[in-house]
A and B are shown apart, each in its own frame.
Chain A
Amino acid sequence: MSIKPQISKLSGLLIFASLFLVSDACAAKIGELSETNFSDQFFRFFSFKDPSVRYAILASLLLGTCCGLLGSFIVVRKLSLMGDTLSHAVLPGVALGFLWTMTKDPWAIFIGATIAGLLGTVVVHWIHTTTHIKEDSAMGIVLSGFYAIGICLHTMIQHLPNGNKAGLDKFMFGQAAALSESDLVMIAVVTGVSLLLITLFYKEFLVTSFDNAFASSIGMPAKFFHYQLMLLLAFSVVVGLQAVGIVLVSAMLITPAATAYLLTDRMHRMLILASVFGMMAGIGGAFFSYLGNSLPTGPFMIVSASTLFGLALLFGPRYGIVPRWVRQLNRNSRIQIENTLKAVYQIREKADFKEDGVSLQQLGEQRNLPLSEVKKEVKRLIRERFATLASSDTDMFNQNQKIYFTPSGWENACRIVRNHRLWELYLTKSAQYQPDHVHDDAEEIEHVLGENIVRELERLLDFPTLDPHGKLIPSVIDLKEVQTGQ
């Protein structure tokens, strides 16, 4: 086999990956390089013609579901590190399972790995209950200790003269394409059992995860469900080894579940989302690994899972960084608009509402801003349809230009002034603030008071009409009359 196509495949793959991460710079190169190659690969992969591809896809889907379901409980129970410990602790078991039969018999390896993994968790438990070493250190010790033993055993096996040891190294980083039918059956069984138990005992898993003491107070065998979860966890880690590899299998448990946790506040939705993300990561990993011919699957699965996590972290509607930033910007610009509205109101108030229009110069003086800034603010008001300019074609924004409220602008101005003055009154009357201390606080509060709180404040203060400084508190109805009554 020549090296060149291998390299071009690899670079095509890298470019696809960078395309995935939204990079325009590489877009031009794709056409020149391996587009046909890539689309060929794409169709071959998703036409499921290769039996090994079929196995790989099925296994990735099943494993994604299983890891998503169990991982959700691992994440909310704060057992993520336990998953990592467990997955590393199985390595000596894999080696011993192999040494037992001297073949890559999946059942022997399954049994060996499960025993080693569970032994690891028992040792962690034993260390931190019988000594004053805390759980995190205990896990660190067990994780690295077991893993090191496993590596030693594997090196020994590599030097053994006989035995079918080919493919044993696949356990380190995973190779979905190397899955046999019996591997697939084991993954299917573990996924099926996990799905069944979590569906049947959803209520029990939920309450023991949220409030263990309460769960046992109502007579629920909390420990039993904990061990059941740990056992399922061990099984899923062991069957996931072949596809994802020891080093990264715990990430398949944690990352999709953590991604789902960023996107929802309800446990059942988290379970579903985590399974979907797990499946997407699984397929992604299998596909990229297929593209690169004999590349390990595990790293690509975790790169896919981490990409999804990164996207959720950036763009998740509730906790995402970008939406939060946009909301902050919106809030700031809303506050700006409201302050301008208030300033226009105050100018009109000074003239006893006799003048309808307010000049930009007046507004600049009131807001203590240069004309250029005032222009910006006025443009905002116009864009929001809160005010209009007395039309003048030549110089739209000279300082004598006047702006006029629209009804909705007027209403909003009244609302914000009312909020401000109500809050000042509340602070002086109910919280015993000095009248000259309340203004700054009200400057902030006026923008966040909701209508319900305003109603409550009005009731509490017995529908006041004057603020602590003797100014009129506008109620929206009153001021509509004032405006139309001019």
Chain B
Amino acid sequence: MSPEIPLPLEIHDLTVAYHKKPVLYGIDLEVPAGQLVGIVGPNGAGKSTLIKTIMGMIPPSSGWVKIFGKPYRKNAKRVGYVPQRESVDWDFPVNVMDVVLMGRFGHLGLLRRPGKKDKEIAMACLEKVNMAPYAQRQISNLSGGQQQRVFLARALAQESDLYFLDEPFAGVDAATESAIISILMELRERGKTLMVVHHDLTTAKEYFDMLLLLNMRKIDFGPTEDVYTYDKLQTTYGGRLTILSEVADTRQKQSDELPLEK
């Protein structure tokens, strides 16, 4: 049970409540390294809450979280985070470079400013997401897809081992979506672990190695091919068959139109 190398993420009996109303019940989770994990569930299932609790922003009512065998605070440097795009004010007076440099702040001490090396790292990360030409642009002059790329570049600049991404594909164009997923897959190849909150069941099956089905409790967690079954999805979405049949329709249509590439 206890491996020599600590797991990237281990959660035991985690319960979270808002104003005494539980939103997550007794979650147990052990995520192995080098996996691209999708967190899937209906609206209000507690997906973002789970992420925020893991990262210590919401105090749990019970249970514990370990990141690489230690409490979150001790290993915060090894964790990268992409919040939901709408969670910030894009009129804020900073430019793209300023935002990406924030990814370096976790590695700097309390009183230290980002230096030349940090700027080089930030620039390299911007190049990875094809945003280098926009480094000096004020962030309000970006499209939704570009904003998401900037957030991803900031996470890359964190140079972490475990990443949490909260709906990175929400409201972005197809080109950005495929750019993001290829970067995530590349990170996985380099042994990083990624936890991605995802809304779209159609693509979930293609994108992720493992799936966490969540609806206030853990429905199931495991390799995608084991977990992505009609029964389990139905349980997750609480008998909301409309969604599932919609998804089934879309999948069928897609496979009719163009055979999915591997």
A-B contact count (CB 8 A): 81
B-contact bits for A199-240, CB 8 A (1 contact / 0 none): 011111011011101111111100000000000000000000
B92 near A76 with CB under 8 A, answer yes
Contact A203:B94 (CB < 8 A) given known A78-B89, A210-B99, A216-B56? no
A-side interface size class = 20 to 34
Instruction: Answer whether residue A267 sits at the interface, using C-beta atoms and an 8 A cutoff.
Output: yes
Q: In A257-271, which residues have CB < 8 Å from any B CB?
A: 261, 264-267, 269-270
For B57-85 the 0/1 string (1 means CB < 8 A from A) is 10000000000000001001101010100
* Chain B residue, CB-CB nearest to A76: B92
Give, as a whole number of angstroms, the nearest-CB distance from A169 to chain B.
39
* The one of B57, B93, B111 that contacts A216, using a Cβ cutoff of 8 Å: B57
**If the complex has contacts A76-B93, A216-B56, are A211 and B102 also in contact, measured as CB distance less than 8 A?**
yes
Taking a contact as CB atoms under 8 Å apart, the answer to whether B55 and A216 are in contact is yes
Contact indicator A211/B93 (Cβ below 8 Å)? no
Question: Of the candidates A78, A211, A219, which one forms a contact with B73 in the assembled complex, judged by CB atoms under 8 Å apart?
Answer: A219
Question: Do B138 and A265 touch across chains, with their CB atoms under 8 A apart?
Answer: yes
A214 touches B83 (CB 8 A): yes
Cβ B88 vs Cβ A210 within 8 A: yes
A213 and B138 within 8 A (CB):
no
Interface residues of chain A: helix, strand, loop or mixed (majority): helix
Q: State A147–B142 Cα separation when bound (angstroms).
A: 44
Q: Which residues of B contact A213 (CB under 8 A)?
A: 52, 57, 81, 83, 87
In the complex, residue of chain A having the shortest beta-carbon distance to the beta carbon of B114: A203
User: Assuming the A-B contacts A217-B55, A265-B138, are A209 and B92 also in contact, with contact meaning beta carbons closer than 8 angstroms in the complex?
Assistant: yes
B83 CB contacts on chain A under 8 angstroms: 211, 213-214, 217
- Is B15's CB within 8 Å of the partner chain A? no
- Given A203-B108, A203-B113, A207-B105, does the pair A270, B93 have CB atoms closer than 8 Å? yes
Q: Is the CB of B105 within 8 A of A203?
A: yes
A267 to B93, CA, bound (A): 5
Residues of A within 8 A of B79 (CB): 217-218
Shortest distance between the CB of A129 and any CB in chain B (Å): 9
Determine if B202 is an interface residue (Cβ-Cβ < 8 Å): no
Residues of B within 8 A of A (CB): 52, 55-57, 73, 76-77, 79, 81, 83, 87-89, 92-95, 98-99, 102, 105-106, 108, 110-111, 113-114, 138, 140, 154, 158, 164
- 10 examples of A-B residue contacts, CB within 8 angstroms: A76-B89, A203-B108, A203-B113, A210-B94, A211-B102, A213-B87, A214-B83, A217-B81, A217-B164, A266-B94
> Footprint of B on A, CB under 8 Å?
76, 78, 200-204, 206-207, 209-211, 213-220, 261, 264-267, 269-270
Beyond the given pairs A203-B105, A210-B88, A217-B57, 8 more chain A to chain B contacts, judged by CB atoms under 8 angstroms and listed by A's residue number, are A76-B89, A203-B108, A204-B105, A206-B94, A214-B81, A219-B73, A264-B93, A266-B138
